[in-house]
Amino acid sequence: MSESPPSASFAQIGDVLSRHQSFVLLSHVRPDGDAIGSQLGLGFALLAAGKSVRLFNEDGLPESLAFLPGSERIERPPAEPVDAEVVIALDTATRPRLGEGCLHAVSKVKLWLNIDHHISNPHYADLNLIDATSPATGEILYELILALGLPLPDESRDALYVAVSTDTGSFQYPSTTAKTYDMAADLIRRGLDVGRLNSNTYDNHPYRRLELLRALLNTLERSPDGVLAHWTLRETTRRELALCADDSEGLIDVIRAIRGVQLAVFFEELPDASTRVSMRSKDRRYDVCQIAAQFGGGGHSLAAGIRMPEPLDAAKARVLAAIEQRVAEVLIENPKS
């Protein structure tokens, strides 16, 4: 396998930003806090610098992130291709993850930038700023904005904080570094209301999310050795509870937190009969990115996902078999663990 090309420098990205006037910023389907926060964070910095900016997401703005200042600028992609000089894909490991509508909307744009922190990113743009050591794309953008001397308006400040907070499990995951805390401290010094943002992010769920949690707990299974826990959301449950796509965001951490569990998996039946798989690990020996890659997925060693075309039960059987194989391999490699 050929190595990925080197990551672009801040100076190279800055040269593109300074030489062009019109930008479209994209993020992945079913966007999370890092995706939307990254779009708003960079988007408002560019707007404050006098640039023309549009923010597209295939699935639009999640209800759970509508509290972010400026979030009304997140649009679903228009039906016709737009005129712009530069596309910037944010927090998106592969181009198809941007969605067919977004790809069509920017089909006339010639220059692509790709800014991301997923280790599985294949460098699909003209310039690629990929830092797999960063806990969130939002942290990369914070460093980029400061390095280039771009404005950091309040909308960017709040959005970048939420981007990093959500992708680090509120600064709990092992990917969190001293730089991450330094960033948060700087944003607070710039006037960020940490109590308000944390309350809106973590303590403001709709009742149906609790109904979903109850339904998921009824499907919870654990392996005999206690290493693996998984649960399942079927399409019938989604319809019965009238769920939104982001209602399940972060719930996998409930089973990840079980004592002794090293691997947590969330199987989700989608409306088109395909299957979405989310995986979390607490031990890098159980590299979920490598497991996901067997099925065309990707992400990070401790957090990865897959979109599988087959029905739920078939997909579930294949993924669980791959996980069981890796658990057995770890046991052989570490017989006393």
> pLDDT value at position 334?
78
Q: What is the model's pLDDT at position 95? A: 96
Q: What's the whole-number mean pLDDT along residues 49-58? A: 99
Contact between residue 101 and residue 285 where contact means Cβ atoms under 8 Å apart: no
Say what the pLDDT of residue 236 is.
Answer: 97
| Residue 85 per-residue DSSP state | S
Q: Specify the pLDDT at position 189.
A: 98
Per-residue confidence (pLDDT) for residue 225, from 0 to 100: 95
In terms of domains, do 270 and 290 share one? Answer: yes
pLDDT, average across residues 297-324: 96
What is the C-alpha separation between 187 and 4, in angstroms, rounded?
33
Are residues 191 and 211 part of one domain? Answer: no
Q: Is 51 within the bounds of a domain?
A: yes
What is the arithmetic mean of pLDDT over 255-283?
Answer: 97
> Rg for the chain (alpha carbons), in Å?
20
Counted domains in the chain: 2
Average pLDDT, the chain: 96
Residue at 264 is within a domain: yes
Please check whether residue 3 lies inside any domain of the structure: no
User: For position 91, which CATH number holds?
Assistant: 3.90.1640.10
Residues 286 and 188 in one domain: no
DSSP 99: -
Q: Which amino acid is at 206?
A: P
pLDDT at residue number 226: 96
Identify whether the C-beta of residue 9 lies closer than 8 Å to the C-beta of residue 124.
no
Q: What CA–CA distance (Å, rounded) separates 169 from 175?
A: 10
Answer whether residue 16 is part of any domain: yes
Please say which residue of 144, 176, 202 terminates a domain. Answer: 202
pLDDT at 3 over 70: no
Is 72 contained in some domain?
yes
Q: Answer whether residue 152 is part of any domain.
A: yes
pLDDT in tens, 221-262: 999 999 999 999 999 999 999 999 899 999 999 999 999 999
- How far, rounded to the nearest angstrom, does the alpha carbon of residue 129 sit from its chain's CA centroid? 16
pLDDT digits (tens, 9 = 90+) for 137-167: 999 999 999 999 999 999 999 999 999 999 9
Q: Is the pLDDT of residue 263 over 60?
A: yes
173 and 317 together in one domain? no
Q: Is the pLDDT of residue 337 over 60?
A: no
How would you class 197 by CB atoms within 10 Å of its CB: exposed for 0-12, middle for 13-18, buried for 19 or more? buried
The pLDDT assigned to 333 comes to 85
Count CB-CB contacts under 10 A for residue 129.
22
Indicate whether 1 belongs to any domain. Answer: no
Question: Rounded CA gap, 95 and 101, in Å?
Answer: 12
The torsion angle over the Cα atoms of residues 288, 294, 295 and 297, rounded to 10 degrees, is: 50
- At which of 178, 202, 226 does a domain end? 202
pLDDT in tens, 298-309: 999 999 999 999
Q: In this structure, what DSSP letter does residue 129 have?
A: E
Domain final position from 139, 169, 202: 202
Mean pLDDT of 276-285: 96
Q: Are both 152 and 281 inside the same structural domain?
A: no
In a shared domain, residues 159 and 231? no
Residues 188 and 88 both lie in one domain: yes
Q: With 60 as the cut, is the pLDDT of residue 25 above it? A: yes
Tell me what the mean pLDDT of segment 22-38 comes to: 98
Domain match, 63 and 186 both: yes
- pLDDT, one tens digit per residue, over 159-173 is 999 999 999 999 999
* Separation CA 290–CA 328 (nearest Å): 15
Q: Do residue 47 and residue 174 come from a single domain?
A: yes
- Which CATH number belongs to the domain containing residue 254 in this structure? 3.10.310.30
* Residue 252 falls inside a structural domain: yes
pLDDT digits (tens, 9 = 90+) for 62-109: 999 999 999 999 999 999 999 999 999 999 999 999 999 999 999 999
Are both 268 and 142 inside the same structural domain? no
196, 55: one domain: yes
| Residue span of the structural domain in which 269 resides | 207-333
Are 129 and 268 within one domain? no
